[in-house]
Amino acid sequence: MPKMLAVPNLDKFAILVREQRKLYQREEEVVVKQVTKEDDDALLQEERLKQYQTAAKRLDNALLVLRRFISTGNELRTPVTKDEIVSEVARQLNITIHPENLHLQSPLASLGEFELPLRLLQDIPRPEGKLQWTLKVKIRRK
């Protein structure tokens, strides 16, 4: 008892026992990792790349259907431009693409199915057996 190694089980010694436990018990080490700006940027780029990949897969597997009036034969009254295709992709597929990502040499002026090449980031892996990402567009009569 003089060295306080053992104390009677009384309320007045409970505070003393708690204080001694705090002194002699090991505290758990808390490891905090600091996230640097480079790590944060890398995580954002990874997340953005995953979003681009899912959007590219949806574009490649999708069929964009446009309905137009025809004038004679299979000719359209007004040709389908790149801006119209970009707006229809946003409306029908809920994917926003930039007009410069869509390669359209001249406006589409006839009925039928077309595969338009997409210019996407080099980091996005292409599907197996394909040289480039494509968007399938089908133009039907109204």
Distance CA 114, CA 119 (A): 16
Domain 47-141 has CATH 3.40.1260.10: no
pLDDT tier at 62, thresholds 50, 70, 90: confident
Condensed to tens digits (0 to 9), the pLDDT of residues 87-136 reads 998 888 888 888 888 888 888 888 889 988 888 777 777 767 777 888 89
DSSP states of 28-55: PPPP-PPPPHHHHHHHHHHHHHHHHHHH
Tokens 């995953």 locate to 50
Q: Which residues of 10-29 are buried (b: 16+ CB within 10 A; e: fewer)?
A: eeeeeeeeeeeeeeeeeeee
